[in-house]
Structure 1
Amino acid sequence: MLFESICRSSCLCWSLGDAFDVRLRRHITFAKRVDKPFSLIYSDKYKVPNSVCESTPSKLSTYRILEPGMILLEKYVSIKDQIDIIYECEKWAKSGFFNHCDHQNGAKCKVMNMCFGRNWDPNTGYKERYRSDGSEPPPIPYELVSLVKAAVQDAQAILKDLPSMHPDICSVNYYPANGFLHLHQDRDESSDSLRRGLPVVSISIGECATFLYGDTRINKKLKRIFLYSGDVLIFGGKSRLIYHRVKQISQYTSPVQLVTEFGLRNDRLSLTFRQF
């Protein structure tokens, strides 16, 4: 009896230890790599703008309707506003808020990410309220909220069925020259947000990105567009759950003013806004 009790105790200890080890490995797989502060711009070109997004487009830029509920507003964000946005992100990059989010399968991600409004990462979604350092993400600057709402309203003048949205999450991705994103859907938001088709709004700054999208996971059947600096891509309604990916970044395609006057590196920023 004593031997059986010892065996059962040993098995229990092994099981608990094994379970803990599995949880630990899972935690390590999901963890963000801790990265050092870095700069989005060359230091000798650094200039401080007066404010964030002081201006908005005086008239609607050219646009392309891509799908029902999906539209591309071309060159929508002015150079002035792009510089203001870069400066806002630069403050947090130099404070160490950007991290690499590695994939569940252990693959290393070249893209760096930070969030305004809510904490989010591609592996755990919105489950963790706090960042890995214990801090909460900073609030979305109200100027950015106003810019996004203006873009949605302009898009609604063209797409009558596009729902309104109030962004409470902004995911900022920093793409180096060799950066890309795998095919995915933006579906971590609440069931109510997804059911209503509240749109995703993405602002591109810097180098041009090759963007693939469609209603299938088959790469050969995906459609392709190019996202240039200042473009705003909106997809909601029937297109809210499209599959999409960033295939590659094209170097030396940034607006001259961002590189020569402000010193932006030859990389890309994207700011993606959603309502949880």
Structure 2
Amino acid sequence: MCNQSSFPFIGSLGSSATFSFEVFHQYGKLPMENFHRKKSFNIIECKKKKPLSTILPTSPKPTTQKLGSGMLLWKNYISLSDQVEIVNICQEFGAGPLGFYKPSHRNGAKLRFRLMCFGREWDPVREYCQYGHTTTPLIPDYFCSLVKTSIQDSQVYLNSKHEIPMISPDVCIVKFYTKTGQRAFHQDRGEGNRSRGWPVVSISIGDSAQFIYGHTKNVHKADKVLLESGDVLIFGGMLRHIYHGVKRIIPNSAPLPLLEHTMLKRGRLNLSLTKF
């Protein structure tokens, strides 16, 4: 569900969308705040930007690390100028009524990140994706282009294109982690795309994160890799079912030019795009 226009826009609000949220709430017994935002959240500091006389420095040349069959890490893939654009888009929508919120478990406990979605509404507890008429913004075409380009570039390094098949994403899950943020070690289980091997394209902006992954749910046997600002991690094919999570955020590790040009808060902005 990519926006084919030059600018992202918000879909119309209809009674059918509200009704579907209510029905799902009753069926799944999830907190309604997982769908309705009570107040906006800014990912940038609420300060007036200072005029910048310097241009953004040139980003290092991208390099690749193959982490497995169907799992590839691009280091420095997103340029600083593109990172600034991504932050600006996420702030524009994230501060609105359909923007960032803090999701809850069934028992009311809060998850350790803020969340918003493009394309489809997604709930992190049941990994449920809302189909049909929703109120979520369409995925900016800018994001979809990054997905297409990163997969095409990745397929050059693979034995087969089936390891990371091409997709047109229909959901973009945006999370913002503060310095104490985490994502529990888990396996994506609510998505039909796992059986098809459709990949996840994960973009990291801001502070670095220690990402853990493994073939079993034993977190003590998990491998780990550092995801830094501008990195893109892609996993699909046979490794689409892999267990993964964010163990910790590395405070004060974001590139200073990025912070100066965006006023991004200390923390990690993560975009995960895939097809359900």
TM-score (norm 2): 0.80
How many residue pairs were aligned? 241
| Alignment correspondent of 1:203 | 203
Cα distance in 2 for partners of 1:43, 1:222 equals 38
Cα distance in 2 for partners of 1:251, 1:63 equals 24
Specify the SS of the correspondent of 2:123. coil
- In structure 2, do the counterparts of structure 1 residues 263 and 114 end up closer, same or farther at CA, with 3 Å as the change threshold? same
| C-alpha displacement of 1:43 | 3.3
Q: 2:39 aligns with which of 31, 36, 40?
A: 36
- In structure 2, do the counterparts of structure 1 residues 164 and 128 end up closer, same or farther at CA, with 3 Å as the change threshold? closer
Equivalent position amino acid for 2:43 in 1 = L
| C-alpha displacement of 1:197 | 0.6
Q: Contact (CA 8 Å) 2:213, 2:223: kept in 1 or not?
A: yes
Specify the SS of the correspondent of 1:90. helix
Deviations 1:78-112 (A, max 9, x none): 10011101000101122131111112344321211
Q: Contact (CA 8 Å) 1:45, 1:262: kept in 2 or not?
A: no
1:184-195 correspondence to structure 2 within 5 Å: 184-190=186-192, 193-195=193-195
Cα distance in 1 for partners of 2:168, 2:129 equals 21
1:146 corresponds to 2:129: no
1:159 corresponds to 2:158: yes
Cα distance in 2 for partners of 1:45, 1:70 equals 41
| Alignment correspondent of 1:7 | none
1:1-276 correspondence to structure 2 within 5 Å: 27-29=29-31, 31-32=33-34, 34-46=37-49, 61-96=62-97, 97-126=99-128, 128-129=130-131, 136-161=135-160, 162-190=164-192, 193-276=193-276
| Alignment correspondent of 2:22 | none
Specify the SS of the correspondent of 2:122. coil
**CA RMSD for the aligned pairs?**
2.6
Q: Contact (CA 8 Å) 2:60, 2:76: kept in 1 or not?
A: no
Cα distance in 1 for partners of 2:200, 2:214 equals 15
Q: Contact (CA 8 Å) 2:59, 2:76: kept in 1 or not?
A: no
Equivalent position amino acid for 1:81 in 2 = D
Deviations 1:230-275 (A, max 9, x none): 0000001111010001011111100111112321111110000011
| C-alpha displacement of 1:203 | 0.1
Q: Contact (CA 8 Å) 1:203, 1:233: kept in 2 or not?
A: yes
Structure whose alpha-carbon radius of gyration is higher: 1
- In structure 2, do the counterparts of structure 1 residues 26 and 177 end up closer, same or farther at CA, with 3 Å as the change threshold? same
- In structure 2, do the counterparts of structure 1 residues 200 and 47 end up closer, same or farther at CA, with 3 Å as the change threshold? farther
Q: Contact (CA 8 Å) 1:117, 1:138: kept in 2 or not?
A: yes
- In structure 2, do the counterparts of structure 1 residues 200 and 225 end up closer, same or farther at CA, with 3 Å as the change threshold? same
Cα distance in 1 for partners of 2:28, 2:122 equals 17
Cα distance in 2 for partners of 1:270, 1:221 equals 24
Residue segments in structure 1 that go unaligned for 5+ positions in a row? 1-22, 49-56
Equivalent position amino acid for 1:112 in 2 = R
- In structure 2, do the counterparts of structure 1 residues 212 and 274 end up closer, same or farther at CA, with 3 Å as the change threshold? same
Equivalent position amino acid for 1:67 in 2 = G
Q: Contact (CA 8 Å) 2:120, 2:129: kept in 1 or not?
A: no
Residue segments in structure 2 that go unaligned for 5+ positions in a row? 1-24, 52-57
| C-alpha displacement of 1:42 | 2.0
- In structure 2, do the counterparts of structure 1 residues 148 and 46 end up closer, same or farther at CA, with 3 Å as the change threshold? farther
| C-alpha displacement of 1:41 | 1.3
Equivalent position amino acid for 2:229 in 1 = S
| C-alpha displacement of 1:136 | 1.2
Q: Contact (CA 8 Å) 2:116, 2:173: kept in 1 or not?
A: yes
Q: Contact (CA 8 Å) 1:34, 1:99: kept in 2 or not?
A: yes
TM-score (norm 1): 0.80
Cα distance in 1 for partners of 2:207, 2:234 equals 19
